Structure 1
Amino acid sequence: MSGSDEFEIDWDRTRRTGVAEAILCEPKTPAQIDAIVASAAGRRLLLTRLDEARHAALAATTRAALAYDPPSRTAVLGGPAPQVDVGADIGADMGADTGTAIGIVAAGTSDLPVAREAARTLAFHGYRAPIIADVGVAGLWRLTGRLPALRACRVLIAVAGMEGALFSVLAGLVEAPVIAVPSSVGYGVAAGGRTALRAALASCAPGLVVVNIDNGFGAAVAAIKMLRAMG
């Protein structure tokens, strides 16, 4: 079992499914993560839900091998992937100097950790996906001012907490499929992201698809599969 009785990495997943396996670090001990990284033997790995305390508890050799991004709680072993040319220019206002087909929209600054997890997952697989942040519906002009760039995307990932209103508004304005990621940002009845999740599931905007709360990784994988199915 890859040198351990506790794990077996699915190295064949990319060939079989089109996306690589990721290592979910949140329930794992630092020693288990150290062993997993050591077993990679020169191959690339994406690690998710790696908080700063757990990262600090890793062996020095493990930390040195990882490109760690604290806000997204992700780390990459083996360096970035080559960019994938997907051939759609979404414009300099989204931070893109060449074409991309995936855009990420975050309702508020507080949603950025989840948005960054999606962006880092996409980058691991070779897709550049710029983030438009703080365009929630409380100031709708911020979103409508970005519509030309957003409408050039082939897939959009939207991250929102609170009441999750961004999902329905965005999906009603663009042709591209929108993947809703409810975030756990909120308080009172919105605490934990469940209000945003229910709003996304109950949306009257047809075609909106939804992943689990705070699941930026899952949204990114869905976006990759959508793009590849489009051809």
Structure 2
Amino acid sequence: MEVYDILEKVKSGELSIEDAQLYLRREPFEEMGYAKLDTHRKIRSGFAEVIYCSGKTQQHLLQIFSRIYEQEGEVLGTRASIEQYELLLNEFPNVEYDSVSRIIKIERKDKKHIGKIAVCTAGTADIPVAEEASQTAEFFGAKVERIYDVGVSGIHRLFSRLDVIQSANCVVAVAGMEGALASVLGGVVDKPVIAVPTSVGYGANLNGLSALLTMINSCANGIAVVNIDNGYGAGYIATQINKLGAGNEE
């Protein structure tokens, strides 16, 4: 529950001043022994804590997932395996899993989506990272336009969708190999471009390092770069930018 909701409930008489005071005095995290859930993150940043599923034991994942869902009414996890999905499905029949992005979630169905984020990939092999970005942004309330397989080896494909890309509040450019897509997009849009290097490519791609270095060294303006394969990070930042751009749509 956010501070605004608490104040509204006090105003309407649903919540006493004393109960509201107790709620606000709670520790800003929940101690679970093996984890400290950041229960005030949504109050501070606007978005609740997200679970990085990879590497977590079954018991830890199940308990963390349960607590966030209990508190927020929805929950998002990244880098989840099919085995983790099957574990959570036993407890939460409404849990959803996407094997491409490895996103696992329970999401409110009445959510309003605002603004527009254009998520572009250089190739089809970049789609898993792009889907992590797209689905993260959608979970946090953004409209997403997917524009896939528009890399520089056939740049006419990109230009055919340029009107859609230019109308977005933010652009996410997901590319492996040499990572040139971000520079091209940076030169044709007047909105921020978030570049996501992927580990897609042959030997000298160095698991995404060559794309990362290209993006960092881009001469185009307005480009910011996240870590290799970090679709979640790009989707999160894009959502924040989109909220500013959407303005009074909320």
* Cα distance in structure 2, aligned partners of 1:199 and 1:184: 13
| 8 Å CA contact retained: 2:102, 2:132 | yes
Query: Which structure shows the higher helix fraction?
Result: 2
Aligned to 1:89: none
Deviation at 1:63, TM superposition (A): 5.5
Deviation at 1:77, TM superposition (A): 2.2
* Cα distance in structure 2, aligned partners of 1:187 and 1:81: 43
2:58 aligned with 1:30, yes or no? yes
Aligned to 1:21: 49
Correspondence 1:9-158 to 2 at 5 A: 9-40=37-68, 41=70, 43-56=73-86, 58-62=87-91, 64-80=93-109, 82-86=111-115, 101-158=116-173
Deviation at 1:59, TM superposition (A): 5.0
SS at match of 2:171: strand
Taking a change above 3 Å as real, the CA distance of residues 110 and 212 of structure 1, as seen in their structure-2 partners, is same
Deviation at 1:29, TM superposition (A): 1.4
2:237 aligned with 1:208, yes or no? no
Deviation at 1:2, TM superposition (A): 4.2
* Cα distance in structure 2, aligned partners of 1:62 and 1:194: 40
Q: Which amino acid aligns with 1:51?
A: S
Deviation at 1:130, TM superposition (A): 2.0
Deviation at 1:54, TM superposition (A): 3.6
Which ranges of structure 1 fall in alignment gaps of 5 or more residues?
87-100
Aligned to 1:226: 241
Taking structure 1 as the reference length, the TM-score comes to 0.86
* Cα distance in structure 2, aligned partners of 1:63 and 1:161: 36
2:219 aligned with 1:189, yes or no? no
Deviation at 1:44, TM superposition (A): 1.5
Taking a change above 3 Å as real, the CA distance of residues 60 and 74 of structure 1, as seen in their structure-2 partners, is closer
Which ranges of structure 2 fall in alignment gaps of 5 or more residues?
1-28
Larger Rg: 2
* Cα distance in structure 2, aligned partners of 1:155 and 1:81: 24
* Cα distance in structure 1, aligned partners of 2:43 and 2:67: 20
RMSD: 1.8
2:189 aligned with 1:174, yes or no? yes
Q: Share of identical aligned residues, percent?
A: 39
| 8 Å CA contact retained: 1:177, 1:207 | yes
Deviation at 1:9, TM superposition (A): 2.0
Deviation at 1:142, TM superposition (A): 0.4
* Cα distance in structure 2, aligned partners of 1:143 and 1:176: 16
* Cα distance in structure 1, aligned partners of 2:188 and 2:118: 14
SS at match of 2:97: strand
Deviation at 1:151, TM superposition (A): 0.9
| 8 Å CA contact retained: 2:30, 2:39 | no
* Cα distance in structure 1, aligned partners of 2:225 and 2:33: 35
Aligned to 1:94: none
Cα shift readout 1:56-98 (whole Å, capped 9, x = no counterpart): 4x25424524211111001112434612333xxxxxxxxxxxx
Match of 1:160 among 160, 175, 185: 175
